């Protein structure tokens, strides 16, 4: 990991963000609440996404303290109604996080449950400490895992394991998460953040443009029109034709 580079970073309430020369380190910072995802954290993470979108770099995402994120804030969730559900508050954020231009690595220790699990699923890669536990217990609270688990988890671990988690309330400890491919590696407790940085070290040695295009294609967010347009934008033919058009218009 390189030394921090000068940057203007926003003041956030529930998340800390560090921008170095070649990456972001984003930390969910409500350790007393097991980093439960509340409305303030959703707003802070949208701010972070805007920052990363305007100045792309790989991301390491972690939780302060022992846990990654123990779920959504149940007190807030209890008061949400139909309109909030239709707005897809957490899903919209996690979809935005998943669409960040360059690779994201979740460094997971302790609980990654409910919305916390779904945020980790939205990352491209996951590293687990031996203490890590992934689960989606939402049906036990009378709701469903509606912030991405129903489509991301089957893609990550297969339909059978996803159904065990989403329907049977089965949780995946670090060893099970490794067996089913949910995590890239399991490391001793306390070493997950360093392991995530080692992955980003390898990522940053690659071509940034190649990584962006590869992520877009693999995740299905790439549009062939955009790639084709990018090729055409770099041609002299495009510049010549547009120059001729502007000169002809100016002569009128």
Location of structure tokens 């099970």: 176
Phi, psi (deg, nearest 5) at residue 128:
-115, 135
Tokens of 213: 């295009």
Pairing of strands 125-129, 24-28: unpaired
Question: How far lies 194's CA from each of 21, 42, 48, 105, 215, in Å?
Answer: 17, 26, 22, 11, 23
122 phi and psi angles, rounded to 5 deg: -75, -15
Catalytic residues: 118, 138
- Please report how many Cα atoms fall inside a 13 Å half-sphere around the Cα of residue 97, on the Cβ side: 33
């Amino acid at each position: 990991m390189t030394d921090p580079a000068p940057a203007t970073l926003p003041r956030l309430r529930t998340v800390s963000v560090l921008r170095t020369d070649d990456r972001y380190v984003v930390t969910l910072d409500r350790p007393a609440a097991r980093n439960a995802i509340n409305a303030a954290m959703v707003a802070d993470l949208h701010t972070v996404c805007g920052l990363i979108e305007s100045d792309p770099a790989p991301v390491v995402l972690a939780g302060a303290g022992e846990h990654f994120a123990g779920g959504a804030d149940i007190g807030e969730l209890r008061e949400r109604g139909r309109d909030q559900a239709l707005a897809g508050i957490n899903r919209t954020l996690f979809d935005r996080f998943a669409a960040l231009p360059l690779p994201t690595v979740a460094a997971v220790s302790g609980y990654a449950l409910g919305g916390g699990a779904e945020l980790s699923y939205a990352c491209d890669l996951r590293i687990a400490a031996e203490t890590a536990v992934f689960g989606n217990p939402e049906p036990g609270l009378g709701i469903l895992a509606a912030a991405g688990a129903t489509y991301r988890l089957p893609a990550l671990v297969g339909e059978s394991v996803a159904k065990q988690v989403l329907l049977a309330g089965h949780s995946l400890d670090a060893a099970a998460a490794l067996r089913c491919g949910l995590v890239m590696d399991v490391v001793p407790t306390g070493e997950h953040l360093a392991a995530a940085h080692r992955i980003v070290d390898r990522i940053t040695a690659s071509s940034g443009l190649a990584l962006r295009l590869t992520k877009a294609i693999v995740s299905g967010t790439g549009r062939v029109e955009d790639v084709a347009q990018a090729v055409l934008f770099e041609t002299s033919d495009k510049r010549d034709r547009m120059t001729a058009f502007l000169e002809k218009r100016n002569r009128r």
